[in-house]
Amino acid sequence: MLTHEQAVSAIRSGKTALGLELGSTRIKAVLIGPDFAPLASGSHNWENRLEEGIWTYHLEDVWKGIQDSYRRLKAEVKEKYGETLCTFSALGFSAMMHGYLPFDQDGRQLAPFRTWRNTITEEASRQLTELFQFNIPQRWSIAHLWQAILNGESHVADISFLTTLAGYVHWQLTGKKVLGVGEASGMFPIDSQTGDYDARMMEQFDALAAPKYFPWKLKDILPKVLSAGDDAGTLTPEGAKLLDPEGDLQPGIPLCPPEGDAGTGMAATNAVAPRTGNVSAGTSIFSMVVLEKPLSKVYPEIDLVTTPTGKPVAMVHCNNCTSDIDAWAGMLQGFAHKMGIDCSLPQVLDALFYAALDGETDCGGLVNINYFSGEPVTGLTEGRPLLVRRPDAELTFQNFARAQLYAAVATLKIGMDILAGESVAIDTLSGHGGYFKATGAGQKMLAAALHTPVSVMETAGEGGPWGMALLAGYRAWKAEGETLESFLQEKVFASTAASRTEPDPKDEEGFERYMVSYKAALAAEKAAVQAH
């Protein structure tokens, strides 16, 4: 841990690294020193919009949020250390993966940003999966592109550049149209042998699109693929002004390749080597398991992506996790206020999570389905949050709370059970994100669901933005020939404490009973979607 004087010196001399991540509900910037510990942070809350059936964010909101996060970070640095931020050793930007952001040759946006949350590309996803014999999820950029072609959308012919949110921000700050390989693997399949887009599949796509006579080939419009530690350009004078409108930030700072929230989660949990994995649990929930060998066949529930250095990863991505818990917590806070009890939302959330520990292991007959949006893993195109129970169920606060926590990881379990059936080995599984903030609660539920020990590091609360700062630090501070795996293991996490929770056999048995009811209740969820 740096002393105050050492921190001031590091900030003044620019021996720091900045990571900024645009998450689904929060944009956060984290500044780290040469010891990799956070020095300061700044955040901005935002929400996606549902416009004409499309989940989207406006690009002006992107810059408003980035600038506000950076301004708050800068103010905290000034308050804590008396220094004005002017430069860093390196910086990097990450964001929620996937989606669709097309631009023409003049840099004009051609269609509203279509985020990962949309489930509007089912036909394209099915056709491409069949063509490639490789699972192409609905949220992947290539699925959105092919669906736009199937829909006959006129803007497709004018596409000069197709990217993700992280790629867009990086482009605006550096002028470079690049992506880190982990983020790129959510646009189009990656060949881990070459560290680039799969050449055979690109040829297949171009042949499929040939009858449309577009003036581009796929390789021409996708970002260049880079690996962690590669030179991804420098901050331009225009980019410096865009990030810091006050004008204190100096141009010329090196940037690392932009990554997705999956890659930053892997970095933040030291889960980039084979047989390691992590679970990121917030608005969405996804697991990342670094593979030793390929899976035996294509599974629609399993995405094959990569680490920030291109190693193959099995990813189970579920669109829904904590949004329903947050909604119920807001309702309970309203009830408490009506009773004259003043409590904050974090206090209500803590009460929910800790009460779950006292619930019956199978939730006493309560079943919660937490779908705010569609869920491809279970075949739902839309979501209807649903709480059902038998007439003889034990409707207690504790059982209700446990049903909420179980529901948050139930769909993930369906996908992870497939990997268990493939005998995928996991030595360590780390958790990070809001689901793990109440010490031991979410961790205990996930361990029971996956029949696997779950570790939560003391740094887990920093999450993706800290992971992005680590990737920026790797870009600036790695030794000659030093791998990302070695850099993280031997320098960043060598002395990091973690709490490890073993699965409780009673919880495991109860969760399996709960899952029988959960899967049966999906019929009611589907009926609710069809009815209204």
383 and 445 inside one domain: no
- 403 in the same domain as 276: no
Distance linking the first and last C-alpha atoms of the chain: 55
How does strand 90-95 pair with strand 17-22?
parallel
Same structural domain, 441 and 493: yes
Q: Based on the fold, state whether residues 327 and 406 are members of the same structural domain.
A: yes
Q: Does residue 460 have a pLDDT over 70?
A: no
* Whether 407 and 509 share a structural domain: yes
Tokens of 108: 């004009």
- The verdict on 372 and 511 lying in the same domain is yes
pLDDT > 90? residue 161: yes
**Any domain includes 448:** yes
The 3-state secondary structure of 237-288 reads HHHHHHHCCCCCCCCCCEECCCEEHHHHHHHHCCCCCCCEEEEEECCCEEEE
The verdict on 342 and 469 lying in the same domain is no
Look at the block and give the residue holding tokens 């493939």: 422
- Give residue 525's domain range: 323-411+505-531
Model pLDDT for residues 349-402, shown as the tens digit of each residue: 999 999 999 999 999 999 999 999 899 889 898 999 999 999 999 999 999 999
Domain-located, residue 93: no
Q: By the 8 A CB rule, do 227 and 195 touch?
A: yes
Task: Give the pLDDT band (50/70/90) at residue 156.
Answer: very high
Q: What is the dihedral angle through the alpha carbons of 201, 203, 204, 206, rounded to the nearest 10 degrees?
A: 120
* 379 falls within a domain: yes
Average pLDDT over residues 189-201: 95
Query: Whole-number mean pLDDT of the chain?
Result: 95
| 497 has pLDDT over 80 | no
Q: Are 123 and 147 in contact (CB under 8 A)?
A: yes
User: Cα 307 to the chain's mean position, in Å?
Assistant: 13
User: Is 520 within a domain?
Assistant: yes
- Are 235 and 91 contacting, i.e. CB atoms less than 8 angstroms apart? yes
Q: Are 507 and 360 in contact (CB under 8 A)?
A: no
Q: For the residues 147-166, what does the mean pLDDT come to?
A: 98
Mean pLDDT, residues 323-346 taken together: 97
Q: From 88, 60, 58, 54, select the one nearest 73 (Cα to Cα).
A: 88
pLDDT in tens, 73-115: 999 999 999 999 999 999 999 999 999 999 999 999 999 999 9
> 380-382 and 373-375 as β-strands: parallel, antiparallel, unpaired?
antiparallel
pLDDT at 117: 86
Q: What is the pLDDT of residue 459?
A: 66
374 shares a domain with 519: yes
pLDDT at 294 over 90: no
* Residue 439 shares a structural domain with residue 336: no
Asked whether residue 80 is domain-assigned, the answer is no
Residue 8 in tokens: 């001031």
User: pTM of the entire structure?
Assistant: 0.85
Residue 78 falls inside a structural domain: no
Residues 430 and 397 in one domain: no
The one-letter amino acid at 493: F
130 within a domain of the structure (yes/no):
no
Q: Tell me, what's the pLDDT at 400?
A: 98
Q: How many domains does the chain have?
A: 2
What percent of the chain lies above the pLDDT cut of 90?
88
Given pLDDT bands bounded at 50, 70 and 90, which one contains residue 348?
Answer: very high
300: confidence class by pLDDT, cuts 50, 70, 90: confident
Dihedral angle over CA of 23, 26, 27, 30, nearest 10: -100
Residue 328 lies in a domain: yes
Co-location of 331 and 444 in the same domain: no
CATH of the domain at 459: 3.30.420.40
Q: What is the mean pLDDT of residues 454-469?
A: 83
Same domain assignment for residues 398 and 464: no
